[in-house]
């Protein structure tokens, strides 16, 4: 029971530091504990890297180890899903098409969430599916933000063809990846499956790394021709705006 009490008191001390650095006296007042008890708790937490003393001062602040753990949790797939879900719901309602979230998994795109379309004619739920990056719009966004040597390594491997429209020529793919990097979005049409079109934009974490992509996809006959810049604008801008909103949510969570 005393160990449980010590854990409860340690968390109350950490909560008191949530508003910023503070000294032993201030923390003791906030958590209603003796200063000697708070000092012992802070020493134990400091030994584990959960808190640290401010340079040239007597105040304490949240430590790097705790910050690192929080960052790992906020960028995990489960956390990403929770943070992005309201934005996916809004995107599906605004566009009338399926909205989804994916993350890079090695050289594959892993679809981790899906908000169904209100349209009675739709496509199946791809959640849980992993697909090669060169065949889907989210994959082009991930490749667009990888180092050149990583892109070349990917393009040098055999590239699977899913339909007659799947692009497998390395030169053409390089140009397309460069275009995605410049535009901030990518389209695919009938490339992973006949009759499915998709548009994606990248999601960044608080450090600026690309950790996910937001997409809209559906039957190709309902989508504009991605080669017609006058027709595709509204969908791609909804996707870009949603990806930016998810990124902002990640920054606030981080």
**82-108 pLDDT per residue, tens:** 889 999 999 999 998 999 999 999 999
Query: 98 and 78 in contact (C-beta within 8 Å)?
Result: no
What is the pLDDT, as a whole number, of residue 1?
Answer: 46
Q: Which residues of 171-196 are buried (b: 16+ CB within 10 A; e: fewer)?
A: eebeebbeebbebebbbbbebbbeeb
Q: Is 214 exposed, middle or buried (0-12, 13-18, 19+ CB in 10 A)?
A: buried
State the DSSP H helix or E strand holding residue 60, giving kind and residue range, or none if neither: strand 60-62
Closest CA to 218 of 199, 231, 234: 199
Lowest mean pLDDT among 34-43, 100-109, 166-175, 216-225: 216-225
1-21: average pLDDT: 79
Q: Which residues of 112-135 are buried (b: 16+ CB within 10 A; e: fewer)?
A: bbbbebeeeebbeebeebebbbbb
For residue 71, pLDDT beyond 70:
no
In degrees, rounded to 5, the angle at the alpha carbon of residue 73 between the alpha carbons of residues 67 and 77 is: 150
Give the integer Cα–Cα distance in Å for 155 and 132.
11
- pLDDT given at position 192: 95
The residue written with tokens 């379309």 in the block is 117
Query: Residue 85 phi/psi, 5° resolution?
Result: -55, -50
Distance CA 5, CA 219 (A): 58
Q: Tokens for 249?
A: 């949510």
Residue 107: how many CA atoms within 13 Å on its side-chain side?
13
pLDDT band per the 50, 70, 90 thresholds, residue 125? confident
Sequence-distant (6+) residues with CB within 8 A of 237 are none
Q: pLDDT at position 226, please?
A: 60
pTM of the model: 0.69
Mean pLDDT of 143-171: 96
User: Which domains, and CATH codes, for the chain?
Assistant: 2-70 (1.10.10.10), 75-253 (3.30.450.40)
pLDDT bin (cut points 50, 70, 90) of residue 5 is confident
pLDDT greater at residue 54 or residue 144: 144
pLDDT of residue 75 exceeding 70, the answer is no
pLDDT at 78: 65
Average pLDDT over residues 122-131: 81
């Amino acid at each position: 029971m005393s160990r449980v009490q010590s854990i409860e008191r340690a968390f109350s001390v950490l909560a008191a530091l949530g508003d910023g650095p503070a000294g032993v006296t201030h923390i003791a007042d906030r958590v209603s504990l003796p200063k000697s008890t708070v000092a012992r708790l802070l020493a134990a937490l400091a030994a584990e890297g959960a808190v640290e003393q401010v340079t040239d001062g007597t105040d304490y602040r949240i430590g790097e180890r705790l910050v690192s753990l929080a960052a790992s949790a906020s960028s995990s797939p489960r956390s990403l899903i929770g943070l992005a879900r309201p934005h996916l719901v809004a995107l599906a309602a605004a566009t009338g098409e399926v909205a989804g979230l994916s993350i890079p998994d090695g050289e594959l795109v892993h679809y981790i969430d899906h908000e169904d379309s209100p349209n009675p004619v739709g496509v199946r739920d791809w959640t849980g599916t992993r697909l090669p990056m060169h065949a889907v719009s989210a994959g082009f966004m991930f490749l667009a933000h990888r180092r050149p040597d990583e892109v070349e390594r990917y393009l040098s491997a055999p590239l699977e063809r899913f339909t007659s429209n799947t692009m497998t020529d390395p030169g053409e793919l390089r140009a397309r990846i460069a275009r995605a990097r410049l535009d901030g979005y990518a389209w695919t049409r009938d490339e992973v499956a006949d009759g499915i079109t998709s548009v994606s934009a990248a999601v960044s974490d608080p450090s600026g790394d690309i950790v996910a992509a937001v997409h809209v996809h559906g039957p190709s006959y309902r989508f504009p021709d991605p080669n017609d810049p006058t027709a595709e604008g509204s969908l791609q801008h909804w996707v870009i705006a949603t990806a930016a909103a998810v990124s902002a949510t990640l920054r606030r969570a981080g």
